[in-house]
Amino acid sequence: MLVTPGPASGAVLRAAASCGTLRPPPQGCIVSESGKSEHILFLTGHLAAPGLRRVLEALPATDFSWEVRDLGVSVAALMTAPMIARRLRDVDGVSQIIVPGLCAGDMEALSQRLGVPVQRGPEDFRDLPELFGRRRLAPALDRYRVQIFAEIVEAPKLSVEAILARAERYRQDGADVIDLGGLPGQPFPHLEDSVQALCEQGFRVSMDSMDTSELLRGAGAGAAYLLSLHEGSLWVAEEVEAVPVLIPQTAGELPSLYRAMERLSALGRAFLADSILDPIHFGFTDSIVRYSELRRRFPEVDIMMGVGNLTELTEADTCGINLLLAGVASELDVAAVLTTEVSQHACSAVYEFDRARRICHAAHTDGVLPKGLDASLSPLHARNPYPDTEADITALAAQIRDPGYRIRVIEQGLAVFNREGLHLGQDPFALFPALTPLHKDAPHAFYAGVELARAEIAWRLGKRYQQDRGLDWGAAIPPSSPRQQQSGEDAQPDALLAASRRLRKS
């Protein structure tokens, strides 16, 4: 189920005015009211063509018309100047040709051969509006295909109130279904009360247990899904209306899964099929192959993938793992994933997968790589962590006339400066002795210490630092987490502002 939530170009275009009379612009072209006759041809590959058209259609009225032409390659970045020269035939009426930013070859020679100016565009077609003096088109991350089942693993040990609180947190982080996990040998006397309370609060609920009696109780109380049935327990599905998730009777054995699927299909019952994702070195690669085989054999069936065996059982930051698994889910058109937050290192898994599914859906829809769409799954490193150079900072420091300290991060380390001068270093402890105005001003020293600590962390990790703002940790700190900053900007306390004013008077 799909959920729906400049100026430089004018001179370039007018320089091409000698290209002759334009043919009528093709359907879908943007033509401004001024009626100017410049026509731009955008070359791309067939994966990126739909997204490129959407970007151009979103441009406000312009003084040119345009068309997008697929040059017959899958990936636009693989396009080369010789390839364009061989494949591009009809350029009548074209004033300018824009090729992908990563297109290799001599554009000047290509321009001479085609008789039309050829210009590289940006590497990412979503940046094209900037070429025409407009703002970059933000990627649409309001849609996704994959549903998230968030499991409360220890549900029998929690009170109904605690289950509701956990479910609400998971819902805020993007969960679509709350999965109540039973524990072997652990009584669950408040199972019905828990399911009913969740349903009353508007949650969709699934019951996850190896005990068939708990599955029956959960379905009777209103659970919409049952995890997980196999050939030996398939009779449960015939007793209730809840949608079952089917798994192999024996780990890694697909024929039993296929038989269970065929049996329910013959009964006209809906279901999800899960061939089981295994941990690394315990069958992980083979399990990915099984999912691929399941999709190949049953192209229309709804598939579930449990991702916890990788996020929980791999000691690595889960942001990247979740994006990788979301990519697999996107390629295989997986309908749902089951995720957990048992291990402390996987404490933001639900929100991470929510971001990941949106990124992968947008990348798939636009036919682009999952890069440059959203940085929330790169909490440790930034694509451009050091926007300032040492020369930039030196020039800026020379203009400062007040005693307040500015802190910047450059590739070489930390830069601290005020009217007294510029100090460069990599260790706040080594820098502090040179910051003499702070030695007798505790509030200002405290403030500078906090900022220098943030700056050092940003420099060592390769993150973007901006003074007076907390570091951005992306999806590693979900909105529901108590560790989330309440404000994107950390205002200095009054005491620190007062300290700054005292320094200015000195």
- Residue-wise pLDDT for 354-371, tens only, equals 999 999 999 998 888 898
CA dist 230 and 275 (Å) reads: 11
Question: 306: burial class by Cβ within 10 Å (0-12, 13-18, 19+)?
Answer: buried
Residue 22's pLDDT is 28
Q: Is the dihedral of CA 351, 354, 356, 358 positive or negative?
A: negative
Beta carbons within 8 Å of 435's beta carbon, 6+ residues apart: 405, 416, 423, 448
What is the 3-class SS of 423-458, one letter each residue? EEECCHHHHHHHCHHHHHCHHHHHHHHHHHHHHHHH
Beta carbons within 8 Å of 416's beta carbon, 6+ residues apart: 405, 406, 407, 422, 423, 424, 425, 431, 435, 448, 452
Residue 476's pLDDT is 93
Residue 367's pLDDT is 80
Q: Give all strands of the β-sheet with 64-70 in edge-to-edge order.
A: 64-70, 38-44, 96-99, 118-120
Question: Do residues 257 and 247 touch, judged by C-beta distance below 8 A?
Answer: yes
CA dist 65 and 37 (Å) reads: 7
Residue 506's pLDDT is 52
CA dist 3 and 460 (Å) reads: 39
Residue 488's pLDDT is 41
Helical segments of 235-343, H only? 235-239, 254-266, 284-297, 308-311, 318-331
**In the numeric block, which tokens belong to residue 302?**
């709804």
Over the chain (506 residues), the average pLDDT of each successive run of 10 is 34 27 33 56 87 84 85 84 91 91 90 92 82 75 94 96 97 97 94 97 96 96 96 94 96 94 95 97 96 97 97 96 97 97 95 97 87 91 91 91 91 94 95 90 89 96 92 92 64 52 54
Domains of the chain from N-terminus onward: 7-131 (3.40.50), 147-366 (3.20.20.20), 390-476+489-505 (no CATH)
Q: Is the dihedral of CA 109, 113, 119, 120 positive or negative?
A: negative
Instruction: Report if pTM > 0.75.
Output: yes
Rounded to 5 degrees, φ, ψ at 94 are -85, 130
Secondary structure (3-state) at 461: helix
CB neighbours (10 Å) of residue 202? Answer: 7
